[in-house]
Amino acid sequence: MTLDPSYLDYPLRRYGMDHDCYDWSMLTDRKPVAWPDGKRVALWVNVALQFFPLDQKGKPFPPPGGMSTAYPDLRHYTLRDYGNRVGVFRLIEALDRYGVKASFAINAELAERYPYLLRRVAERGDEILCHGWNMDTPHYGGLDVEAERDQVVRSLDVLRGHGGQAVKGWLSPGKSQSRNTPALLVEHGVEYMCDWINDDMPYRFRTAAGEITAMPLSTELEDRFILLNNLHSETEYADQIIDAFDFLNREAGDQGGRLLALNVHPWLLGQPHRIGEFERLLAHIVGHETVWSAPPGEIRAAWLAAQP
């Protein structure tokens, strides 16, 4: 049986991308980016502060890292809560020790339940990203656009109200989006999103409501992906981050500035048997004079300034 010729006939068939969300370009062909003071690698560490409901609905799919046994799944619920009660403070101490400027992606419901966490982040002056309402409220294809708009508005209003920041960045729960998500974010004052991971550098992303910047927050280098998905040890996790930095540092010497983006979870790396490996990788990276540690808003601003 042969395909009807119309099967391969659609308006956006062309070289490059079959959509207009962003321009097709090879990383090596772009204008080199110079980070401040001639640094080669921009280090962005994002700490994910998450709330996983004990009565998780898991619709239309269970949240990554969520409850996995019959209700009440106290074993996993209390482990996630450990990160917000204990682990996060170990991460903060490590970031302070090595002078790393981080961002904190916060579920809005967590900010309501544990306002002291939001106050601690705000008092430190760290950049706050909206991480949706909670980890069981995904943005996905098929979600009614008005229902999604309500989720976006409610989440942003809570964080902006309690954190005292404009909150210009967004990380969806589970990095899941619908076709409407980017435009809804632009409509409500979000300037960059961290869900798309198809590049090593920021890029311009078009929506019906205007432009937003895609800030790729690596999944391959995420602690949850390496430790829980790939079942690698914490030592192997640190080794992989160090390998990635060393490569990007060399590449940047020939091709211009690069971005090393690390997403970390306090309930994982804040454990006493893992925090030392996180400190080891930070010591290696910041030990290089070629590194610029900055939150995503500053990195985005520097990148935009370098665009033609």
The β-bridge partners of 203 are 214
Mean pLDDT of 97-120: 96
d(C-alpha 293, C-alpha 39), whole Å? 10
- Strands of the chain (E only): list them: 41-49, 102-106, 127-130, 169-170, 192-193, 203-207, 210-214, 258-264, 291-293
pLDDT at 150 over 80: yes
Average pLDDT of the chain to the nearest whole number: 96
- The domain ranges of the chain are 36-305
pLDDT of residue 211: 98
pTM: 0.95
d(C-alpha 141, C-alpha 55), whole Å? 23
What is the β-pairing status of strands 210-214 and 203-207?
A: antiparallel
Into which CATH architecture does domain 36-305 fall?
Answer: Alpha-Beta Barrel (3.20)
Percent pLDDT > 90 in the chain is 92
d(C-alpha 132, C-alpha 81), whole Å? 18
d(C-alpha 142, C-alpha 134), whole Å? 19
pLDDT at 8 over 90: no
pLDDT bracket for residue 1 (50, 70, 90): low
- Which residues does 70 contact at the CB level (< 8 Å), separation at least 6? none
Mean pLDDT of 202-223: 98
Closest Cα partner for 163 from 116, 195, 131? 116
pLDDT bracket for residue 221 (50, 70, 90): very high
Do the Cβ atoms of 262 and 46 come closer than 8 Å?
A: yes
Mean pLDDT of 153-175: 96
Do the Cβ atoms of 178 and 143 come closer than 8 Å?
A: yes
Closest Cα partner for 97 from 45, 50, 35, 48? 45
**Higher per-residue confidence, 14 vs 167:** 167
3-state secondary structure 185-244: HHHCCCCEECCCCCCCCCEEEEECCEEEEECCCCCCCCHHHHHHHCCCCHHHHHHHHHHH
pLDDT of residue 5: 79
Please give the single-letter amino acid code of residue 101. Answer: K
Place of tokens 């520097």: 302
Place of tokens 């904190």: 104
